[in-house]
Amino acid sequence: MDTLITTLSAVTPDRVWGIDVPNYFWFTGSSAAAFIISSFAHVFGMEKYKPIAGFSLLMALVLLIAAPMNLIDDLTQPGRVMNFFLNGWENFPTSPMKWGVLLLIAYPILIFFEALVLYRPFFVKRMHNSSGIKKRFYLILTLGRKQINEEESKKDHHLGFILGAVGIPLALCVHGYTGYILGAVHANSLWSTPLMPILFLASAMVSGTGLLLVLIPIFQKFFTEQKRVDGSIIAELAKLLAWFIVIDLVIRALWLSFAIAFGNDPKNYLVEFFTIHFEMTLYVEYILCLLIPMIIGFTKLRNNFPLVFITGIVVAIGVWLFRWNTVIGGQTIPRSTPGFLEYTPHLLGQGSITAVLANWMLFIALVCLVTAFFPWDEEMSEHYKNKGLENE
C-alpha cells in the first residue's frame, strides 16, 4: 500500500514555455500542411488540386514568416537573438532547437522562390504592361527570364517540380523538428516519445487542411473574378481532411497505448494527467474536433459547404488545443515537488494573450500583403478556364 505523504513546505517549480509556444507549433505545422497540399499538384501532378496549389503555397509562406515571431516573443532576452547564430554550435547534433535555425531560414526562402517560378508568366505580363520603377520591380521578380513560350514554361514546370520535391522533406522537417524539441525531453513524461515528430506532423496536416477550408472559400468568394466558391474542391479537401484525421488518430492511439496502457513508471502521472483533463480531451479534442469532422469528410455531408466551413474552423481550433494540452499540459506534470501545476496566461506584455493575438494580426496583414503582390487570383481563374468550370 502506498504511504501518504503530507507536504508541509516545498517550492513551486518554475516553468518557462507559455502560450506563444503552442501557437508557434500550430503555425509551423499548418505551414507544412499547406505546402504539402500545394505539392500534390506541383510535384505529384494531381490535377484536382491545381486550382488551389498556388494559393496554398502562398499561405505556407505567410504562416512560416509569422511563426518565428512567437519564438522571439517567448525569449526573455530577445535582444540576444544573435547569440543563437554565433555561439553554441557544438550542441548542434543534440539540440533540436538549433536545427530550427537552418530550417526556419531555408524553408521560407525555398517557398518564396517556388512562388516566383510559379507566377513568373504573370510577372512577365505585368512587366510588359508597366513602366519605370514598376517595370524594374517585376523584372526582378521574374529573376531575369523574360520570355513566355513553350520552352520557358517547360523550364518553369521543371523548376517548380524540383523546388517542390526538395520542399516536401524540408516542410516535414520544419514541423518535425518541433516534435523533436518536445520528444527529446526525457524528463517530461508526456513529451518523451519517439512518436512526437510524426504525431505533430499528422495533427499539423489536420490543422493546415482546416485552415485552407476556411481561407480558400473566403478568398474565392470575395477576391476572385468568378466570385464563387468551388464546391468540388472544398468537398475534396474535406475528404482529404478525413484521411488526415484517420492518420492522426492512429498515431495518437499508438502514443497513448504505449505510454499509458503498456507504459512503465511515468504512466501513473499520465493517468492522473488525463483524469484531470478527461472531459476536455475526450469530448472536445477527440469527439468534437476529430471524430465528427472525420465523419463529415467521409460522408455526403462534405458537400454541405457551410458545414464544411465550420468543420475547418473546428479542426483548426482542435489542433491548437492539442498543441496547448501537449506543451502546457506537459509542463504541469510534477517532477520534483508534488501537485500538478496550472497555467493562466497573462493578458498583456511578453508571452501574453495579447502577444498571440498580435501574431494573428501580423498573419492576417501578411496574407493581405502577399495576396496583393502575387497574382494568385489570375492563376486560379486560368485553371478554372482550362477546366471549363466557369460556366458550371
Partner 1 sequence: MDKSKREFIKGGFATLVAAGTSANAFTLQNPGRDAKDSRYIGNKLKQYSMIIDLRQCVGCQACTSACMVENSVPNGQNRTFVTEMEIGEFPNVRKSFLPQLCNHCDDPACVPVCPTGATFKREDGIVVVDSEVCWGCGYCENACPYDKRFMNKETKVIDKCTFCAHRVDEGLLPACVETCVGGARIFGDLKDKNSEISKLLANFPTTVLKNEQGTKPQVFYIGLDGRVENLLNATVSLDDMMREVIGLKPKEWATQRGDK
DSSP state of 113: H
Least distance to partner 1 from the beta carbon of 139, Å?
24
CB nearer partner 1, residue 45 or residue 194: 194
Least distance to partner 1 from the beta carbon of 24, Å?
12
Q: Which stretch binds partner 1 (CB under 8 A): 75-83, 136-144, 209-217, 224-232?
A: 75-83
CB nearer partner 1, residue 74 or residue 377: 74
Choose which of 98, 125, 146, 155 interacts with partner 1 (CB under 8 A). Answer: 98
26 Cβ partners below 8 Å, 6+ apart?
207, 319, 320, 323
**How far is the C-alpha of 190 from the C-alpha of 260, rounded, in Å?**
10
CB nearer partner 1, residue 150 or residue 265: 265
Near partner 1 in 165-184, by CB under 8 A? 181, 184
Least distance to partner 1 from the beta carbon of 379, Å?
39
Which residue is associated with the grid cell 518541433? 178
**How far is the C-alpha of 365 from the C-alpha of 210, rounded, in Å?**
20
Give the total of residues touching partner 1 (CB under 8 A): 65
* Cβ–Cβ under 8 Å, residues 208 and 52: no
**How far is the C-alpha of 82 from the C-alpha of 371, rounded, in Å?**
31
128 touches partner 1 by CB under 8 A: no
All 3 cell numbers of residue 128?
A: 510588359
**How far is the C-alpha of 62 from the C-alpha of 171, rounded, in Å?**
14
CA angle centred on 66, ends 62 and 68, rounded to 5°: 130
* Cβ–Cβ under 8 Å, residues 244 and 279: no
Q: Is the Cα torsion angle 185, 186, 187, 190 positive or negative in sign?
A: positive
All 3 cell numbers of residue 173?
A: 522537417
Least distance to partner 1 from the beta carbon of 275, Å?
11
Choose which of 47, 48, 87, 313 interacts with partner 1 (CB under 8 A). Answer: 87
Near partner 1 in 264-283, by CB under 8 A? 265, 268-269, 272, 276
CB nearer partner 1, residue 84 or residue 113: 84
Least distance to partner 1 from the beta carbon of 4, Å?
6
- Each residue 181-210 as x (binds partner 1 by CB under 8 A) or -, in order, gives x--xxxxx----------------------
Backbone φ and ψ of 101, nearest 5° = -60, -45
CB nearer partner 1, residue 151 or residue 342: 342
Least distance to partner 1 from the beta carbon of 243, Å?
33
Least distance to partner 1 from the beta carbon of 273, Å?
11
Please count the other Cβ atoms lying within 10 Å of the Cβ belonging to residue 303.
Answer: 13
263 touches partner 1 by CB under 8 A: no
- Each residue 27-66 as x (binds partner 1 by CB under 8 A) or -, in order, gives ----------------------------------------
CB nearer partner 1, residue 221 or residue 346: 346
Q: Is the Cα torsion angle 205, 274, 357, 213 positive or negative in sign?
A: positive
CB nearer partner 1, residue 62 or residue 356: 356
CB nearer partner 1, residue 261 or residue 347: 347
**How far is the C-alpha of 316 from the C-alpha of 203, rounded, in Å?**
9
**How far is the C-alpha of 50 from the C-alpha of 233, rounded, in Å?**
10
**How far is the C-alpha of 351 from the C-alpha of 17, rounded, in Å?**
9
Least distance to partner 1 from the beta carbon of 7, Å?
5
Query: Helix, strand or coil for residue 252?
Result: helix
**How far is the C-alpha of 11 from the C-alpha of 15, rounded, in Å?**
12
- Each residue 331-360 as x (binds partner 1 by CB under 8 A) or -, in order, gives xx-xxxxxxxxxxxxx--------------
Question: CB-based burial of residue 298 (10 Å sphere; 0-12 exposed, 13-18 middle, 19+ buried)?
Answer: middle
Residues of this chain that bind partner 1 (CB under 8 A): 2-18, 71, 74-78, 80-81, 83-84, 86-91, 94-98, 101, 181, 184-188, 265, 268-269, 272, 276, 331-332, 334-346
